[in-house]
Structure 1
Amino acid sequence: MATVMQGGGVPPHAKTFFGHPRGLYLLFFAELWERFSYYGMRAILVFYLTKHLLFTEQPAYAVYGAYTSMVYITPILGGWIADRYLGARKAVLAGGVLITIGHLLIALVEGPVGVHGTALEGFYAGLAFIIVGTGFLKANISVLVGQLYRRDDLRRDGAFSIFYMGINTGAFAGPIVVGVLGETVGWSWGFGAAGIGMALGLVAFVLGRPALHGVGAPPSVERLAGRSPVGLSREWAIYAGALVCVAVSWWLVRSQGVVGTALVLAALVTIGYILWTAVVKLPREDRDRIFAALFLIALCPLFWALFEQTGSSLNVYTDQQVDRTILGWTIPATVFQSVNPFFIITLAPLFGALWVKLARAGREPSAPFKFGIGLILIGAGFFVLNWGAPAQGLTPAIFVILLYMLHSIGELCFSPVGLSSMTRLSIPQMTGLMMGTWFLSTAAGNFLAGLIAQATGGEGAGPAQVLEVYARCGWFAIAIGIVVLLLARPVTKLMHLDTLGRDVDHAMAGDAVLAEPAAAGLDTRGEQTSRR
């Protein structure tokens, strides 16, 4: 049976493709189809609510914010379950099954225009399946990418940039296929296409699993097969519990205000537990790394609150206030959701190569410095839109495209860097939890995104009010970004990059020692690897 090296990563003899383990491309393909389904459905979600179920804009934004935040809350629980019981591989598989059910359920329950009842409740149930499924899948598939490499492997950032390109290939195709089908053929066709995309990702993951060389296995097969208090094996008890979580999520997505309270409670409990563990159980260097990771996590809500206007207020602004006519053909507004992933696809390889080249030259910016740049760019994007919007008439589409370009460059300085940082700075026993906490902060950003979208005014508000809200948010993001740049050096020192590859005791008090020997002859590069 395939085994993983003690220090992490696939065995040295494992076959590679363009310098990376083949398992990376399996995860690339599986995540491509999962993101196809998610971003395709996200592109038509607000339009389905406003144009088919006839919600007004502000309630539609509230549902959008609740849903998109909850898909990032559940990875906390999914990461913890994978760390302790399932392992990342089984968690990803279970999540894919639930997501497929959710998309197909929404496609099957569509009712007449404006009629709620069963159609609306089925829609909420479909969202609930997707929420819980994403909890199992989202954090853990990123963990699998990290486990393919040693913590001090030079290829890690490049690997996450390649993986992120897979995410955005799916995100590029999803809004075009799902959006055009949903807007022009029928909503059920769009949602159905999203479900088929997730099913394809499942098939790829199952058939290509040997390429992972054993990474992501359950931490204890015996514990997983053991009897649970409800009489089932622990594995099947987890799956049964997932269905209970679907019912809870169904209620929460119908009661959007409760989601904000749940976010606050989840953040207090999770961050409190991590801080307690770091202070009480971890040696100094691992503790400092956890503190550095938490600093990066704290910046997520602001970034994603602004970035996620894409699927809500910016989507509606594009539909209502942007000139989308080219050569006599009016481009569906959902197609503009593909502009951001297009830039990610084209720029991600360049950024991946750039980080590696700068690292080898000893000049790569630190992870906090990259985060500061990302925040400045997200703010600058809104100023471009304000600058290009005329006093009267429609905004030329080029300015929306320029906004997406700046936001995409900012995203490349933020999201893949953050994903890699969580797997590098956390200890083995907490990797899934830290990745889940990263997504919890993203959830907070998505919930705040819904509130910002509602602040743009909804019905009766003109484009001037939308642009005024965007301008205020842009200034705030730029100011915070400058502060982060000033703090980058002291935060980088907390990462202790000069000892990342050494043989250190990563065990928590009372746990078995999980030592990670340094790679022979490999310089850990200090400031050069500050991105993680």
Structure 2
Amino acid sequence: MLSVSCLQPSCFGYPLSIFFIIINEFCERFSYYGMRAVLVLYFKYFLQWDDNLSTAIYHTFVALCYLTPILGALIADSWLGKFKTIVSLSIVYTIGQAVMSVSSINDLTDHNRDVALYMDFFPTKCCFFFSFFCFPLCSSALSMTGLILIALGTGGIKPCVSAFGGDQFEDDQEKQRTRFFSIFYLSINAGSLLSTIITPILRAQECGIHTKQRCYPLAFGVPAALMAVSLVVFIIGSGMYKKVKPQGNIMIQVSKCIGVINLPRSEICHNMRKASEKRLIAQTKAVLKVLFLYIPLPMFWALFDQQGSRWTLQATTMDGNFGSIQIQPDQMQTVNPILIIIMVPVVDAVVYPLIKKCKINFTPLRKITVGMFLASLAFVAAALVQVQIDKTLPVFPAAGQTQIKVINIGTDGATVQFESPLQSVNVLSMESTGYMTFDTSRLQSVNIISGNKTATEVITLPGGSRHTLAVKNAASIAAKWVSLFINNLPDTINITMGDTAFETLMSFSASNYNLFPGGRKDNIMAIINSIPCSVTSKTLGFGSAYTIVINGCTGNTLDVTYSEDISPNTVHMAWQIPQYFILTCAEVVFSVTGLEFSYSQAPSNMKAVLQAGWLLTVAVGNIIVLIVAGASKLSEQWAEYVLFAALLLAVCIIFAVMAYFYTYTDPNEIEAQFDEEEKKQVKKDEDVYEKQTEAVSQM
């Protein structure tokens, strides 16, 4: 039944209440995606977890976010109703975001950093145990609490908000309801786009009272504030909402009815119970019909969600130089929400009307089928791009091989001889060789000859790796395995590149490699005998690796020499745009339609449940990625793309057959028929009861 305080105010033919719902969804999605954008970096750099643990917790959190919608839907449809469920779980959500922000305040945990040093003596599992039960030692427990609250909140309200928005329309506003779902989806992507741009910028700032660190409190705090705004806006619109009361648990109602002692009344309740059972059976059949159609849908999400994994990794092997703008690999994900914002109104206002004018019956299930086909096509495009990338990638050593390059930082030429097998190279002063491949098990030692001096270096290197050997002829021959910076000076120096400080380098020593954003220049500063000396680095190409030799300082200008270890990527990231465009087209016709279809085909007391079923397909899709990628054992990435494309195409054909035999229903008409039958039965039973009462009174 509907509870409406007054006639709903409207704006442009739409209920005014939906604008509060759309703003609420925009803020909530900003909060969720903004927090998630920096979550893995928070695990790795703030909590200092390793990559495997960070990845596992991250995916566990995402999976939980798409499993909890079932709980939220059941609460909404059977107990609190959609409005109270959204308000209650939004409060939980906001608390969770606030907890995450507090847990990342480094000044609260600075005193724990010294303790953390001692935890290096304990196994990782022991540290993980401490993180949950000893918050004074680290903030892991508080972070996990926050994530659980966020997962419960975002998942719990997810199926309710879109269904609650659909409830605001009258039966004769089908066109407006359809357009609402497009606008609703647009608000999701607008929030996602802005948050994935803004929160990484906030994280990159430095903040702290006692010590400076990346500003995770701000990166989490802004999403927390947006979630609070989302809750306030939603509550403000309370008086305008059309609220569908929860139907309650039918079995409890039947049990209460059976408990009636009066025989005639009990008979009436028996008839009412039979009518309720018939209604429940009809509603369940309607839901099961739709859920049966959902079985193939997770395969779509298995491909779609690889934007954040496989496609991002693909972008790391590409060139992100767009002239004055340097695009980082993870920023390519913003292409999807940008295209969504453009394409949703275009498809809704132009494409669909044109299809209708061509007298093509483009039903919701046909739209979903087309979306699956387009997603498959997008992965074919990704495979073609990958083939071109593979042609440009360096050849790395196999497990039983080692690659070595030699760089001569001395003033004289040098001859380097590798033993077993014998291989000799001549290297001029300040020059370097390319990488040479050796059988690791046979590589024993290297002889270095420069001028009249000779030295021998014993080699014990792991297989499947690359190494750089620096040689120098000074008072005697010296050789050293190096990484990023080499101090070619007689003095000890301290080096900073951009915001990254390296360890102190003794004379003829080397630093470890470090990661820097590709496509940009950074200031290299060296403190030599307390005198700062600096130079602007060359442009660091995307995917490239360099060894930089510090040779001296002239007039506060640092003298450096570059040796290119890995050449920059040559395939441009712009070649990913076609695959993003095709996948976005697939998303528009698949996901927006799916939200609308789930609402329109669901009985009034099961709309949120069906929305939760739709969201559950996302969680299953992510599990499919792990299963297929793990079982395929494909060594070539392009082959894996083709495999996923083929699997989705096969599933698309199966879904098309299933959709062909599906019969669309109008739940309102079915429920109206049951209402009429119940009224007739009640009238009949009441007449019988009156006659029985009259007969008893005459006795």
TM-score exceeds 0.5 = yes
Residue number among 162, 179, 194 corresponding to 2:200 in the alignment? 179
Would the aligned equivalents of 1:423 and 1:435 in 2 still touch at CA under 8 Å?
yes
Residue 131 of structure 2 corresponds to residue 131 of structure 1:
no
Aligned to 2:672: 504
Task: Provide closer, same or farther for how the CA distance between residues 406 and 69 of structure 1 changes in structure 2, counting only shifts above 3 A.
Answer: same
- Counterpart in 2 of 1:200? 229
Cα displacement string for residues 263-286 of structure 1 (whole angstroms, at most 9, x for unaligned residues): xxxxxxxxxxxxxxxxx7458975
Match of 1:165 among 178, 182, 186: 186
Secondary structure at 1:322's aligned position in 2?
A: coil
Q: What is the deviation of 1:78?
A: 0.9
Alignment match, 1:149: 169
Q: Residues 200 and 466 (structure 1 numbering): CA distance in 2 closer, same or farther, change over 3 Å?
A: farther
* 2:30–2:195 CA contact under 8 A, matched in 1: yes
1 CA distance for matches of 2:618 and 2:292? Answer: 14
Report the counterpart of residue 89 of structure 2 in structure 1: 95
Query: Over the residues paired in the alignment, what is the CA RMSD in angstroms?
Result: 3.5
Q: Counterpart amino acid of 2:322?
A: I
Aligned 8 A contact 2:293 2:658 in 1: no
Match of 2:597 in 1: 421
Task: Choose from 218, 239, 243 the match for 1:215.
Answer: 243
Match of 1:104 among 87, 98, 104: 98
The CA deviation string for residues 82-126 of structure 1, in whole angstroms up to 9 with x for no partner, is: 112211111111222222222222222235899873333322222
Q: Distance in 2 between matches of 1:57 and 1:453?
A: 19
Tell me, what secondary structure is at the counterpart of 2:622? Answer: helix
C-alpha offsets along residues 333-389 of structure 1, whole Å, 9 cap, x if unaligned? 443332211111111112333446756886341222112111112222222222123
Q: Greater helix share, 1 or 2?
A: 1
Distance 1:215 1:356, change over 3 A: farther
Map of 1:259-298 to 2, 5 A cutoff? Answer: 281-282=278-279, 289-298=286-295
Return the structure number with greater relative CO, CA threshold 8 A, min gap 6. 1
Aligned pair count reads: 438
Note closer, same or farther for the CA distance 1:330–1:434 as it changes in structure 2 (3 Å cut): same
- Any conservation in 1 of the 2:247–2:605 contact (CA below 8 Å)? no
Shift of 1:71: 0.8
CA distance in 2, matches of 1:70, 1:511: 44
In structure 2, distance between residues paired with 1:38 and 1:317: 25
Distance 1:155 1:285, change over 3 A: farther
Could you tell me which amino acid in structure 2 is paired with residue 191 of structure 1?
F
Shift of 1:32: 0.3
**Matched residue of 2:673: which SS?**
coil
Task: Quote the residue 2:399 is aligned against.
Answer: none
2:42 is aligned with 1:48: yes
Structure 2 CA distance for aligned equivalents of residues 183 and 159 of structure 1 = 37
Q: CA separation in 2, counterparts of 1:325 and 1:512? A: 73
Contact 1:109 1:122 in 2 (8 A): yes
Q: Secondary structure at the match of 1:321?
A: coil
Residues 218/381 of structure 1: CA separation in 2 closer, same or farther (3 Å cut): same
From the superposition, tell whether residues 483 and 399 of structure 1 become closer, same or farther in structure 2 (CA, over 3 Å): farther
**Compared CA separation, residues 429 and 51, structure 1 to 2 (3 A):** same
TM-score (norm 2): 0.56
Q: Distance between the aligned counterparts of 2:632 and 2:283, measured in 1?
A: 43
Q: How does 1:356-395 map to 2 (within 5 A)?
A: 363-389=360-386, 390=389, 391-393=391-393, 394=569, 395=571
* Residues 1:409 and 1:154: Cα distance change in structure 2 (over 3 Å): same
- Residues 162-221 of structure 1: per-residue CA shift (max 9 Å, x gap): 111111111111100112222465333222222122112112112222232x3245668x
Relative to 1, partners in 2 of residues 1:83 and 1:362: Cα closer, same or farther, differing over 3 Å? farther
Residue 450 (structure 1) shift: 5.1
Q: Which residue of 1 aligns with 2:311?
A: 314
Greater Cα shift, 45-54 or 441-450 = 45-54
1:36 to 24, 30, 35: 30
| Contact map agreement 2:82 2:161 (CA 8 A) in 1 | yes
Gap change, CA 1:48 and 1:430, over 3 Å in 2: same
Are the aligned partners of 1:309 and 1:453 in contact in 2 as well (CA < 8 Å)?
A: no
* Residue 31 (structure 1) shift: 0.3
User: Could you list the runs of 5+ residues in structure 1 that have no partner in the other structure?
Assistant: 5-9, 221-279, 514-532
- What TM-score, normalized to structure 1? 0.73
Q: Quick check: 1:46–1:60 contact (8 Å CA) kept in 2? A: yes
Structure 1 residues 49 and 452, CA, compared in 2 at 3 Å: closer, same or farther? farther
Q: CA deviation at 1:28?
A: 0.7
Per the alignment, residue 661 of structure 2 pairs with 490
1:440-451 pair list within 5 angstroms: 440-449=616-625
In the TM superposition, residue 133 of structure 1 has moved relative to its aligned partner by 0.6
* 1:23 aligns with one of 9, 14, 17: 17
How far apart in 1 are the matches of 2:54 and 2:338? 27
- Name the structure 1 match of 2:581: 405
| Alignment-derived partner of residue 73 in structure 1 | 67
CA spacing shift, 1:83–1:101, aligned 2, 3 Å: same
Return the structure number with greater strand share. Answer: 2
Q: How far apart are the structure 2 equivalents of 1:69 and 1:508? A: 43
Aligned amino acid, residue 16 of structure 1? S
Partner of 1:246: none
The alpha-carbon distance between structure 1 residues 403 and 121, as it changes in their structure 2 partners (threshold 3 A), is farther
Cα pair distance change 1:468/1:361, threshold 3 Å: closer
Q: CA deviation at 1:427?
A: 1.0
- Per the alignment, in what secondary structure is the counterpart of residue 175 of structure 2? coil
Task: Kindly state the Cα deviation for residue 502 of structure 1 after the two structures are TM-superposed.
Answer: 7.1
Displacement after TM superposition at 1:287 (Å)? 5.8
Question: Deviations 1:33-84 (Å, cap 9, x if unpaired)?
Answer: 1111112222223343445545555544433332212111111111111112
Distance 1:17 1:357, change over 3 A: farther
Query: Is there any run of 5+ residues in structure 2 with no aligned partner, and where?
Result: 118-127, 132-137, 207-213, 249-276, 394-568, 682-699
- 2:92 touches 2:153 (CA, 8 Å); kept in 1? yes
Partner of 1:347: 343
State the alpha-carbon separation in 1 of the partners of residues 175 and 101 from structure 2. Answer: 44
CA drift of 1:455 comes to 7.5
1:480 alignment counterpart: 651
What is the alpha-carbon distance in structure 1 between the residues aligned to residue 324 and residue 631 of structure 2? 34
Change (3 A) 1:145 1:504: same
C-alpha distance in 2 between matches for 1:337 and 1:496: 38
Instruction: Give the stretch that moved more between structures: 40-49 or 95-104.
Output: 40-49
Task: Measure, in 2, the Cα distance between the counterparts of 1:30 and 1:147.
Answer: 16
* Structure 1 stretches of 4+ moved >6 Å: 112-116, 453-457, 507-513
Q: 3-state DSSP class of the match of 1:429?
A: coil
Alpha-carbon contact 1:176-1:334 (below 8 Å) kept: no
Amino acid in the other structure paired with 2:344: A
